[in-house]
């Protein structure tokens, strides 16, 4: 069988003192909790703002870099076309020079043959 022990008895002033201590402790914990929530909210807002700014800055710099690369690509493509055109012009000029040189060789061969025939006829 269960024995019923009487619990400790509190006087009214002790009860009130204990109640005030519990209430004060609860109020202090509630205030600390509220402060922590406020700091967390502020930190979250600062982090969100910093993240958004960093993302914007990164996107802007990346976009600028892409534009730079595109400009360089266009510049290099134009340079390549200019170089190819210059090579084609040089090849054409070389072929014309070779044809002109060959055209000069025929009269030179005729002159050499004439001189050779003259020298032979003078020797005889």
Predicted pLDDT at 119: 85
DSSP 10-65: --HHHHHHHHHHHHHHHHHHHHHHHHHHHHHHHHHHHHHHHHHHHHHHHHHHHHHH
Q: Tens digit of pLDDT per residue, the chain (124 long)? A: 556 666 667 787 888 999 999 999 999 999 999 999 999 999 999 999 999 999 999 999 999 999 999 999 999 999 999 999 999 999 999 999 999 988 887 787 788 888 888 888 888 7
SS3 at position 9: coil
* Structure-token pair, residue 80: 């390549």
């Amino acid at each position: 069988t269960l024995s019923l022990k009487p619990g400790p008895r509190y006087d009214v002033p002790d009860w009130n003192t204990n109640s005030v201590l519990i209430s004060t402790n609860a109020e202090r914990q509630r205030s600390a909790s509220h402060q922590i929530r406020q700091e967390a909210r502020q930190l979250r807002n600062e982090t969100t703002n910093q993240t958004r700014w960093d993302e914007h800055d990164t996107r802007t710099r990346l976009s600028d870099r892409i534009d730079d690369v595109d400009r360089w690509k266009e510049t290099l493509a134009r340079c390549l076309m200019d170089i190819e055109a210059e090579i084609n012009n040089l090849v054409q000029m070389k072929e014309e020079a070779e044809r002109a040189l060959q055209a000069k060789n025929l009269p030179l061969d005729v002159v050499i043959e004439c001189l050779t025939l003259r020298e032979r006829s003078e020797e005889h």
